Amino acid sequence: MGARHAKAVFLGRRRYEPIHELQRHLVALRADGHIEDIILLVEHEPVVTLGRAADEGNVLRGKEALAELGVDLVQTGRGGDVTYHGPGQLVCYPILDLRPDRCDVRRYVRSLAEVMILLARDLGVEAGVVDGLIGVWADRDKPTEWAGAPWASELAKLGAIGVRLTRWVTMHGFAFNLNVDLRAFQLIVPCGIRDHGVTSIEELTGNAPSVRDVALGCHEILSRGLDVSVSRVEDMSDVSDLERALTGEARSSSGPAEQKKPASG
């Protein structure tokens, strides 16, 4: 891991749009060298997000119907299709500069998957990746075993990945299902995949820790999966002005940088 270091912070439960804007600002600052690498960990209020390649037909309820259910609907700049975020799901947004030696989108996406695989293993579930399907998967019938998709009885998605890179600085990240209400995924076709369902640690094991507990205790797993040195996660769940707390006096002298490579699933 050498000299690479990233600060990690837990933001508590927040609505999606303010955190999305915070990411955009941090990415611009990171791309211009005004801040160091940072990893945001958050639990979102219910929201359906659409990626740049989203098929709106994969949102199975209209905006008004979603609003009546207390679910926001937000367009994002990440790659991929439709995703749901909500309470009981750990969402991780690394803001990392991959320059000069990690400018490989596939390698980075695989590192996000590795973090979720390690999180799942720590909670008693074996999970893995599936060729042609981005994200992390488990076998509902045998959650303590993973020998690959061909040997799985019932594939189910445990975690989603969606990224965007700006001048090789990463944005967005992954969503890992701890005890999220799985009925919420009936509002969408998750990531446009109709052939397989969505699962959670709670469904697979009968129990799951809180998002807060996992977030505040995951610095070693983040370090291993992302190959950076991450000190203990700082709890900023009670901070109201996150931008000021995270950037101090840092200010970007230029506007948001040009978007380069999206990927999601």
- Residues serving a catalytic function are 191
Contact 198, 29 (CB under 8 A): no
DSSP β-ladder status, 155-166 and 169-177: antiparallel
Q: How many whole angstroms separate alpha carbon 80 and alpha carbon 175?
A: 14
> Vertex 128, ends 122 and 131: CA angle to 5°?
165
DSSP β-ladder status, 38-44 and 89-95: antiparallel
Contact 67, 47 (CB under 8 A): no
